[in-house]
Amino acid sequence: MLIPCPHCGPRDSREFTYGGDATLQRPDPDGADDKAWCDYIYARANPMGPHEELWHHAQGCRAWIVVTRDTLTHEITGARPTARWQDPSTDSDKKEAAE
């Protein structure tokens, strides 16, 4: 299976490490209850069809990317940098460090 890394081009999937569901939203640390944290940590959907997943190009550019993969056919229809790497001007960590 080839994964089209947006930084390196198509690469063998053995260069990558699977990072899980890319659509999970971390609960608000100040307002979430135990059930919300339990669901975030342990409950996983088992989607059928196109799904966004996190992959780490561990043996390449070492970037995390979001891959759209069909869970039935394993066909990969897209890959993009994670939001953090798409636009450096929106990186809140860098803005805070510069201030």
Q: Is 24 in the site for Zn ion (CB under 5 A)?
A: no
User: Interacting stretch for Zn ion, rule CB under 5 A, among 7-15, 33-41, 66-74, 75-83?
Assistant: 7-15
C-beta of 94: minimal distance to Zn ion in Å? Answer: 21
Identity of the residue, 10 or 20, whose beta carbon is nearer to Zn ion in the bound complex: 10
- Residue 50: both structure tokens together: 């196109």
Residue 69: both structure tokens together: 């993969």
Q: Least Å distance between CB 60 and Zn ion?
A: 4
Subset of 29-88 contacting Zn ion (CB under 5 A): 57, 60-61
At 99, list the tokens. 């201030």
Tell me how far apart the alpha carbons of residues 49 and 52 are, in angstroms, rounded to a whole number: 10
Q: How far apart are CA 97 and CA 57, in angstroms?
A: 26
Q: Which residues make up the interface to Zn ion (CB under 5 A)?
A: 5, 7-8, 57, 60-61
